Each structure stands twice: as structure tokens, then as C-alpha cells.
Amino acid sequence: MWPRGLRERPTDADPGDGVAARPCSLPETAPPTITISGKTFEYTMFNNTSRPVGPAMVTLHDVPSMGSLVQVPSLPTGEYALGVMTNGVPKRVALRYARSGYFTTTAIADLAIADSTIGGGLPLWSFGDAPMWSNGAMSSVYMAAGLPRVATKGTLNIAVRDCSGAFIEGGSVVVDPPPIGPEGEYRYQGMDGRPSTTLTTTIRRFAHVVVFNAEPGLTRVTAVKDGRTFLDSDVEVLAGSNVTLATVRAVD
């Protein structure tokens, strides 16, 4: 068992035909120091319009150990920047965003980072972006999904992407362990940004699926789409007032 539940995902994965698939084309080396920056914010509508939240505490964690590497507060305007020591090797990390009155968001990079990264602040989420949800906002999200929120479970938000970071339509996602009980459900994000009760695959323009009332603990995320090879992603789902942001990525 890895410390605090996270396992390192292997750099190669067998897509089922005996041929190993590389995660994505990444340099083997990295600058001694890279910077991760972005803005802490909250969504004001389901279409991902947003406003800044700050100051909030931003903590960089090592993956898989989840040891804390560095911590800074974001500015009142939401901007933050963290320096990461790499020892010349691409590094897999997680970012945690916390502020009183908001759910704590943990965003886990599925790939090692080999260069400085800036959250784009666009409607399409990318690593470095720092969305946070107030208690009222999360209640509205669960209400839109038609589900009660169970405090002993978690919320898992999964982006389906390719190696360039572009969204992938038509991907279906499963998690292990699966959500349990009538309150545990998958909901794909619709064109209007709302959690859909009818969609069974990702669609533009967000290509996200939310696991409502996800089981807490180590969780494996798997995606399927005809003609595409995905790598599984292992993440830690935290219970209560927490959101885990994960990515499952196609490598061809």
C-alpha cells in the first residue's frame, strides 16, 4: 500500500493486444525548477463562468507519497504560483486548494510534469486551474443531479482528454470501486454544463463525468472508446467536503 492510499501508475500499460502503450510523449529530463501557476476561483454557472476566490491555501504534493512539498496562499485576486524542484526528472504531483467555507479540491496530475504549467482559466479545465465549490454551490450541483449528498462519501470529477489536453467525445468511464446505493451515480456533463440524467458518454464542450457520492479511498478510473487506447488513472477519493479532480487520458 502506498502512503495515504495513492499508487504510482506504471509508465507503460498493455492495451490488451500485448503491445505496451506509452502514456504520452514526454521529455526524459526537466529543468531543475519548474513553476505551476493558476488562479483559485469558483464557478458561478454550470457553463463554467467563474469569479476569483482568494486568498486560498494552495499546497503542492508529491505523487505517489502525497507528501507536502510547498504551500503558498493565493492572492485576493486568486493568482498563485509554486516552484517545484525536479532534480532534472519530470515529476508527478497533486495540487490541493483549501479555504474556510469551501470544499477542499485535490487535483491530481495523471502525467509527470516536465515543464512549467499555467492553468488556462478557460471553460475547459486543465491542470493548474483551481476550482473550488462553496457549500451552497455543491448543494446546487447535487440538486441538479437529482441526488442527495452523503457526507461520508466523496465527489469525483473526471476529465477525459487526449495527450494534447483536448477533450474526447464518446468516452465512457467506470471507477473501481463503483458508487454504491441509489445515491451513488455517474453523471456526464451536458452541453449546458449540467449533470445529465440521460447521457452515457462524454460530449463537447467539457467532456467531464462526475461520480456523485463516490466511495472514499483508492479508486481506479478507466475509460473506453472505440479505436482509442486509454491509460487507467489511480486517485484517492476523500470523503466529506472534498472534491477530487482526475484525468483519464487516451494515448493514441
Cell matching residue 226 = 472505440
User: In angstroms, rounded to a whole number, what is the distance separating the alpha carbons of residues 13 and 10?
Assistant: 7
pLDDT bucket at 245, cuts 50 / 70 / 90: very high
Over range 102-110, report the average pLDDT.
97
Check residue 26 and give its pLDDT.
Answer: 81
Q: What is the DSSP letter of 138?
A: H
Under DSSP, is residue 140 helix (H, G, I), strand (E, B) or coil? Answer: helix
Lowest mean pLDDT among 23-27, 149-153, 204-208: 23-27
Residues 130, 56 contacting (CB under 8 angstroms)? yes
Contacts of residue 24, Cβ cutoff 8 Å, sequence gap at least 6: 111, 163, 249, 251
Average pLDDT score over residue span 207-227? 96
Tell me which CATH code domain 3-7+28-250 carries: 2.60.40.10
Phi, psi of 244 (to 5 degrees): -105, 125
Q: What is the pLDDT of residues 41-55, one digit of tens each?
A: 999 999 999 999 999
CA dihedral of 229, 166, 124, 221, whole degrees rounded to 10: 10
Work out the pLDDT band at 6, boundaries 50, 70, 90: very low
